[in-house]
């Protein structure tokens, strides 16, 4: 279906659909035959379902389409994810977990070997991280 029909079915403007497409919130445009003019998206039911899901997420968490697009980028690009995680640790929004994760794995391995894990002495002033 054309963009005007898709927009009408979704209750939004064609301009908003183009904006969402530019942000990467729609499935990628299918290949068009070589030598043809500019691609015109033909919206499918899959496209409409993806847009509907995005709108529900935006409403539920009170975020913008741009914020949702950035969230997807964080999930899919390791360097962006690492930068955001570093910021989260620096600002106190995320705990520094690598040490704890390693402690958990060490305790699990010791239990598997039938040994009791050694508990940290709270008087030990050395940082765990």
CA 10/CA 72 separation, integer angstroms: 22
Pick the CATH number of 3-31+38-90 from 1.10.1040.10, 1.25.60.10, 3.40.50.720, 1.10.1660.10: 1.10.1660.10
pLDDT at position 95, please?
76
Instruction: For 62-80, write each residue's pLDDT tens digit.
Output: 999 999 999 999 999 999 9
Assigned token pair, 123: 């008087």
CA 89 – CA 81 distance, rounded (Å): 12
CB within 8 A of 122, min separation 6: which ones?
Answer: none
* Residue 41 near residue 3 (C-beta atoms within 8 A): yes
- The reported pLDDT for the residue numbered 129 is 45
Cβ partners under 8 Å of residue 41, min gap 6: 3, 21, 26, 29, 47
The encoded tokens of residue 74 equal 């964080």
The pLDDT value given to residue 23: 94
Closest by CA to 25, choosing from 2, 48, 1, is 48
- Name residues of the chain where pLDDT drops below 50: 127-129
What is the Cα–Cα distance from 127 to 50, expressed in whole angstroms? 46
User: Measured between alpha carbons, how far is 51 from 57 in angstroms, rounded to an integer?
Assistant: 10
Distance of CA 49 to the CA centre of its chain: 18
pLDDT in tens, 19-33: 999 999 988 876 555
pLDDT of residue 27: 83
């Amino acid at each position: 279906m054309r963009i005007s029909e898709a927009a009408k079915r979704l209750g939004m403007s064609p301009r908003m659909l183009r904006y969402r497409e530019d942000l990467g919130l729609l499935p990628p445009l299918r290949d068009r035959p070589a030598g043809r003019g500019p691609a015109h998206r033909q919206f499918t039911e899959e496209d409409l379902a993806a847009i509907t899901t995005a709108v529900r997420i935006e409403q539920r968490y009170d975020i913008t389409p741009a914020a949702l697009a950035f969230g997807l980028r964080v999930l899919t690009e390791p360097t962006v994810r690492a930068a955001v995680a570093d910021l989260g640790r620096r600002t106190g929004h995320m705990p520094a977990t690598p040490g704890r994760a390693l402690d958990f794995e060490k305790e699990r391995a010791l239990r598997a070997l039938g040994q009791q894990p050694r508990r940290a002495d709270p008087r030990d002033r050395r940082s765990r991280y």
